[in-house]
Amino acid sequence: MNRLAIPKTYKLYIGGKFPRSESGRVYEVLSHTGDFLANAAKGSRKDARDAVVAARSALGGWAGATAYNRGQVLYRIAELLEGRRNQFIAEIVNCEGVNAAVASAQVDEAIDRWVWYAGWADKYVQVAGNANPVSGPFFNISVPEPTGVVAIIAPQGTESLLGLVSAIAPALVAGNTVVVVANERAPLSAISLGEVLATSDVPGGVVNIVTGSPAEIAPWLASHADVNALDLVGAGNLDWVELQISAADTLKRVLPPEAGADAATPALNRILAFTELKTVWHTKAIL
Amino acid sequence: MKFLDYAPAPESKALLGLKSDYGLFINGAFTAGRGTPFRTINPATEQQIAMIATANETDVDDAVSAARHAYDGVWSRLSGSDRGKYLFRIARLVQERARELAVAETLDNGKPIKETRDVDIPLVAAWFFYYAGWADKLDHAGVGPNPASLGVAAQVIPWNFPLMMLAWKIAPALAAGNTVVLKPAETTSLTALLFAEILQQADLPAGVVNIITGDGSTGATLVNHPGVNKVAFTGSTSVGRAIARSIAGTDKKLSLELGGKGANIVFDDAPIDQAVEGIVRGIFFNQGHVCCAGSRLLVQESIHDDVIDRLKRRMQTLRLGDPLDKNTDIGAINSAEQLARIRELSDLGEQEGAERWSADCEIPPNGFWFSPTIFTNVSTSHRIARDEIFGPVLSVLTFRTPAEAVAKANNTPYGLSAGIWSDKGSRILAVADKLRAGVVWANTFNQFDPSSPFGGYKESGYGREGGRHGLAAYLKPAVRSGSRSIAAANQQTPSVSKKSASAGKKSASAEKAAK
Amino acid sequence: MTNSPLATYQPDQRALALIGGEATDANLRRYLHGIPGIDAVGLEARAADLGTRSIKTSSKRWAIDTIIGLIDLTTLEGADTPGKVRSLVAKALVPDPGDPGTPRVAAVCVYGDMVGSAVTALGSAHAAGGTDGVNVAAVATAFPSGRASLAIKLTDVRDAVAAGADEIDMVIDRGAFLAGRFGQVYDEIVAVKEACRRADGSMAHLKVILETGELSTYDNVRRASWLAILAGGDFIKTSTGKVAPAATLPVTLSMLEVVRDWHRLTGVRIGVKPAGGIRTSKDAIKYLVTVAETVGEEWLSPRLFRFGASSLLNDVLLQRQKMTTGHYSGPDYVTID
């Protein structure tokens, strides 16, 4: 005799909390065969706005945390994700229509990606920074720092969890906070990842996940003056040129859309894309 | 007599052999422009120096084609060490002709000869010398092994440091293996054209550097040209924004070095006399025509009156006048247009209730001049505390605590530079950490060096010039591995780090094929 | 900013008012360490910048004559004799026999036992503290090291004053200063100042040599400058000339800044004397520029500025001859003293 299952209500993840969309809207998430899976919150521009506020207010703490601490927090995500592998595999199988082995490989890779990026937290500054031998009595050092609030359109392709992780992890390494618009068709693992983040040591507001229509939300993020950078990695099917034009108004740092399964391939450059190099001079003399 | 009325000490113009007309420098030769030529004048006298050609669309096309041709045919095939040798040659030629270039720059720009002689031109040579050595060491530029050049770089530079900005643009571009089409600012084309003569003396292959002159529309045509792979612009934030919009959707790589409203923060334990010097250097260097100028003085309230008193005394010793005089501290404003803007914003400052004080300078009868000016009683909401004036005008604000200083300093859409004056090392480091600015000078200001990256946060632009980071702005990583398939993921999950390591080892030929 | 009451105070009252108590080590330390610090790089950059001023034609001619009039023509050798001092005095009075229009120097500077010879040699040209003629300055207080008991130092001073010295160039106790015994340094200066008093109640001018080369840091130079002025020195002087480095432009600039600040604070003008190492007119002109642009042109008078130098004079004379004749001169056309 079958026990009646208890379906999960999939909500947004903003400021460490799980609100419904302020608009009250939801949309149906279907399996690849068209069966109803869940009602996901259909985020609005105001949800995006709230997410930006949450991200901005979390920035100081996250950017100000020690690199060692950020590395451990990111590693902790991998630990928790490992513990909830089965849930993610099930969601991926349902949503993406792949078999369990494929789904499992995706989850493994997502976990490994957290580990890889976690290790960068206290190294990227060493690799990308520089002591500069200026010709004068000055101490001079260049150090990369987080850009600020990064809005991300998550990859909209087949690997919903891996795509999401590949996009947000590098932005987090340096200490940026993130507003991410999830994979529209397969948003369930994004919200479940939010649950992982909420129970890990990631401070509320550091990652904010909005589900819904990227086409609807992205323009608001691209034009939002308090967003410092825009990762259009998953915006290939949107009018992304218009988004870039809009982002130019406040001179946001923009990463272009990437197509295909290799979108957001792990790379140091993805970390550095959302950093600013600061050069500090100081006079140097014993007199 | 009064000793401080130093007798005139003009630098000689005798070593300058200027032509009456200058054409465009395309494919290694000077050629007449197809647009309407324009006058370049000495802003200190308003007298004409020479006629300068205007490049129209066809000329821009020619220049980009020449650069493309040189890229494909010569420059991208040259070894790094040979590219470096050309750059070393250029550095030496600049040193040899330094005085001539300094005089020409002062004539055309209006800045004092002591600055062109002691700052601008030496830095031009240093920039070429620095990047020359990089040309055969690109593997160490920080973009991975075997980095690739981008192709043709379109570079548009401002009028405040004409030849220095040219060096900042051309040196790293060539070292990285790109070819260049550069457009100097309309009012300061002269030294770029003298530089073209230096390129001829250096025997640089034709088309590797092309210099086209004209107004903003020439620049717009250039950056929007489809044959361009890289756009580097230094100038106003509004134009930078327009460029960012116009190249949206293309794969042109973009560097922008834009405006600023730098905060110069003076704490109550500052080395006070050096701080006053730093304030002066921060805002009156180059008539304040400096994107990274310390145009907002944030002074701790407890020492405000003392600092302002010292500053005013110091400002009375600034000598405004003939830019060619070796004792001139404050030269001419570069153009009538810029002077009008400075006046407009300064008048606005007064209307908004700030207190204006100007050093007592005798203003020459001709030319464009503005006395060094400070505004006290400025509040953060005043336009003069927010807008870039780009002139010798300082807005003075106060703060009570380090936290307030940081908050006020960061309260701007810009983020290019900042200064900190304090004798307390730990505070300097902490404040430097919290300032959202690309360059922070502690107990100094307006220092530049080719090895030191320079560039902005926020609306001050992106990308860096100087150092290996400035080199990386003209490079891209060797092409990364192709597709990553689920099937591949199925084969016993390779670790991401291995994957990324192998990505870097893909050959450059794959890169070329991908283009 | 001038605080007028301070201007009318006697030095000891003024010091008391500023320090806020007796001149103890602790009080002085608190006061001197409350003075803003110096960033060496910025100070040197400013001095270098002032050094790039280009002084030409009429300004240069004025500068050359002014430099001559500011020189303390100096001989401080163990081998000094009355004959050597007579020769020095002759040179001081008539620097360039070929051009009687050449100004006289401000003073001759000799060891205490040579004061009598100098006074005799000057005869009616002895300015005796006035502006007409040449003054006699004597180094004292166990110059150059200052390593003697206070009693010896004071006797040294009194002897020189009694012999007719118009100006006393004393050295501070650098050992005491570096050890933080600011009160001792202060008290010594006060005592020496008192020893400058003549029988008629008038005072010989007191120049306080800091020996900046031994103080080593600009912050020390600045504190020692304040200390010397607080204690009543009329002049602060960089060096004995016996320690390298002697006068440098940045050190002199930092002392001029103190003098400027003291004037802002009290309305009182203190003199500055860089000594040692200034050998060319080109260098000396840099000092004139630095004085004029830091404290004001008013300071370019023997009352407020001196060069302690010996070989400088001849280089200035060569320059002067060049400006007069239009062609370069040579060392055989100026006299050795």
CA–CA separation, B31 and B43 (whole Å) = 26
B57 is catalytic: no
Closest chain A CA to residue B250? A241
Q: Which two tokens stand for residue B477?
A: 């990583």
Residues of A whose CB is below 8 A from C40: 137, 283, 285-287
Contact (CB, 8 A) for B367 and B45:
yes
Alpha helices in chain A (DSSP H): 45-64, 67-83, 85-96, 100-120, 124-128, 160-173, 188-199, 214-223, 240-248, 268-272
Query: In chain A, whose CA is at the least distance from the CA of C251?
Result: A287
Q: Does C44 touch chain A (CB under 8 A)?
A: yes
Hey, are the CB atoms on C40 and A287 less than 8 Å from each other? Answer: yes
The structure tokens 């004798």 sit at: B423
Q: Which residues of B touch A108 (CB under 8 A)?
A: 493
pLDDT of residue B488: 34
The values of phi and psi at residue C125, to 5°, are -85, 5
* Mean pLDDT for the stretch of residues A139-162: 96
Where are the strands (E) in B109-216, listed by range?
148-149, 152-156, 179-183, 209-211
Residue A247 pLDDT class (50, 70, 90 cuts): very high
Q: Does A98 touch chain B (CB under 8 A)?
A: yes
CB A23 within 8 A of CB A47: yes
Q: DSSP letter string over B26-90?
A: ETTEEE--SS--EEEEETTTTEEEEEE----HHHHHHHHHHHHHHHHHTGGGS-HHHHHHHHHHH
Query: Chain B partners of C63 at a C-beta cutoff of 8 Å?
Result: 3
- In tens, the pLDDT along C21-49 reads 999 999 999 999 999 999 999 999 999 99
pLDDT digits (tens, 9 = 90+) for C320-330: 999 999 999 99
The answer, yes or no, to whether residue B513 has pLDDT greater than 60, is no
Q: Chain C: give the shortest CA distance to residue B413, in Å.
A: 30
Report chain A residues whose CB lies below 8 A from the CB of C41: 136-138, 283-285
Inform me whether the pLDDT recorded for B483 exceeds 80.
no
pLDDT tens column, C171-229: 999 999 999 999 999 999 999 999 999 999 999 999 999 999 999 999 999 999 999 99
Q: What percent of chain C has pLDDT over 90?
A: 92
Average pLDDT, chain C: 95
Q: How confident is the model at residue A1 (pLDDT cuts 50, 70, 90)?
A: low
| C42, C216, C217 member nearest A283 (Cβ) | C42
Using the Cβ of A282 and the Cβ atoms of chain C, whether some distance falls under 8 Å is answered with: no
Distances (CA, A) of B506 to A256, B80, B146, B335, B438: 22, 20, 9, 52, 33
Identify the pLDDT of residue C5. 73
Q: Give the closest of A98, A130, A261 to B468, CB-based.
A: A130
Catalytic residue among C169, C173, C219, C315: C169
pLDDT average, residue stretch B492-512: 35
Q: In angstroms, what CA-CA distances link B320 with A184, A207, B7, B110, B398?
A: 64, 55, 14, 11, 28
Percent of chain B with pLDDT over 70: 93
Residues of A in contact with C216 (CB under 8 A): 287
Residue B274 near chain C (CB below 8 Å): yes
Return the number of other C-beta atoms located less than 10 Å from residue A223's C-beta. 16
Cβ-defined contact of B7 to C63 (cutoff 8 Å) = no
For range B7-12, the mean pLDDT: 95
**pLDDT-derived band at B498, boundaries 50, 70, 90:** very low
| Count of CA atoms in the C-beta half-sphere (13 A) of C213 | 17
Q: Does C39 sit within 8 Å of A283, measured CB to CB?
A: yes
Residues of chain A contacting residue B496, judged by C-beta atoms under 8 Å apart: 109, 112-113, 116, 266
User: Looking at the complex, does the CB of residue A283 fall below 8 Å from at least one CB of chain C?
Assistant: yes
Residue B1: pLDDT band by 50, 70, 90 thresholds? low
What number is the average pLDDT over the span B396-417?
98
Higher local confidence (pLDDT), A286 or B338: B338
A285/C216 CB distance under 8 A? no
CB contact under 8 A, A284 and C39: no
pLDDT at A261: 66
To test the contact with chain B by mutation, choose from A275, A276, A284, A286 the residue with the greatest count of B C-beta atoms within 10 A, namely A276
Residues 208-267 on C with a CB inside 8 Å of A are 216-218
pLDDT tens digits, C135-149: 999 999 999 999 999
Average pLDDT over residues C93-121: 96
| Residue closest to B278 by CA, chosen among C260, B375, A32, B267 | B267
- Does residue B257 have an active-site annotation? yes
Where residue B369 falls (left for φ over 0; alpha for ψ -120 to 50; beta otherwise) is: beta
Chain A CB contacts of C217 under 8 Å are 286-287
User: Quick one: how far is CA B332 from the chain centroid?
Assistant: 19
Chain mean pLDDT for chain A = 96
pLDDT band at residue B492 using 50, 70 and 90 as cut-offs? very low
pLDDT average, residue stretch C66-81: 97
- Mean pLDDT across the stretch B126-148? 96
Number of A/C CB contacts below 8 angstroms equals: 19
Mean per-residue pLDDT over chain B, rounded? 93
B chain contacts of residue A228, beta-carbon cutoff 8 Å:
458
Q: What is the pLDDT of residue C12?
A: 80
Is the pLDDT confidence value at B247 over 70?
yes
Q: Does A2 touch chain B (CB under 8 A)?
A: no
- The reported pTM is 0.94
Instruction: Check: CB of residue A144 under 8 Å from CB of residue A275.
Output: yes
Q: Does B316 touch chain C (CB under 8 A)?
A: no
B324-345 average pLDDT score: 98
CB contact (8 A) between residue B459 and residue A282: no
- Catalytic, out of B186, B257, B388, B459: B257
Range with the poorest average pLDDT among B130-134, B219-223, C198-202 = C198-202
Q: List chain C residues with CB under 8 Å of A283.
A: 39-42
Quick one: which of B419, B415, B408 has its CA closest to B455? Answer: B415
Q: Does residue B201 have a pLDDT over 70?
A: yes
Contact A284 C41 (CB under 8 A): yes
The active-site residue, picked from B105, B115, B186, B291, is B291
User: How close is the nearest chain C Cα to the Cα of A286, in Å?
Assistant: 7
C42 neighbourhood in chain B, CB within 8 Å: 271, 273-274, 277-278, 443-444
Model confidence over A91-132: pLDDT tens digits?
A: 999 999 999 999 999 999 999 999 999 999 999 999 999 999
Q: How far is A247 from chain B (nearest CA, A)?
A: 8
pLDDT value at residue B508: 34
pLDDT interval class at B501 (50, 70, 90): very low
Nearest to A251 among B126, B438, B459 (CB): B459
Tell me which chain B residues have a C-beta less than 8 angstroms from the C-beta of A125: none
Q: Model confidence at A8, in pLDDT bands (50, 70, 90)?
A: confident
> What ipTM was estimated for this complex?
0.95
The least confident of A156-160, B69-73, B270-274, B401-405 is: A156-160
Q: Say whether pLDDT at B14 is over 70.
A: yes
A135: contact with B, CB 8 A cutoff = yes
A282 — contact with chain B (CB < 8 Å)? yes
The neighbours of chain A, by the rule of 3 or more Cβ pairs under 8 Å, are B, C
Contact residues, A window 239-258, toward B, CB-based 8 Å cutoff: 240-242, 244-245, 247-251, 253, 256
Reported as type and span, the H/E element at residue C307 is: strand C307-309
Candidate list C91, C153, C193, C273, residue with the active-site label:
C273
DSSP 8-state class, residue B134: H
Q: Can you spell out the DSSP letters for A202-238?
A: PPTTSEEEE-S-HHHHHHHHHH-TT--EEE-TT-TTS
Question: Angle C281-294/C249-266 helices, nearest 10 degrees?
Answer: 30
CB pairs under 8 A between B and C: 76
Q: Does the beta carbon of A142 lie under 8 angstroms from any beta carbon of chain B? A: yes
Residue C48 contacts A where some CB pair is shorter than 8 Å: no
Which whole number is the average pLDDT over C234-241? 97
Please name the residue of chain A whose CA is at the shortest distance from the CA of residue C38.
Answer: A287
Enumerate neighbours of B (3 or more CB pairs within 8 A): A, C
Per-residue pLDDT reduced to its tens digit, A170-228 = 999 999 999 999 999 999 999 999 999 999 999 999 999 999 999 999 999 999 999 99
Whether residue B274 and residue C43 make contact (CB cut-off 8 A), yes or no, is yes
Contact C40 A138 (CB under 8 A): no
Q: Which of A14-28, A189-203, B474-488 has the lowest mean pLDDT?
A: B474-488
Q: Is the Cβ pair A138, B444 closer than 8 Å?
A: yes
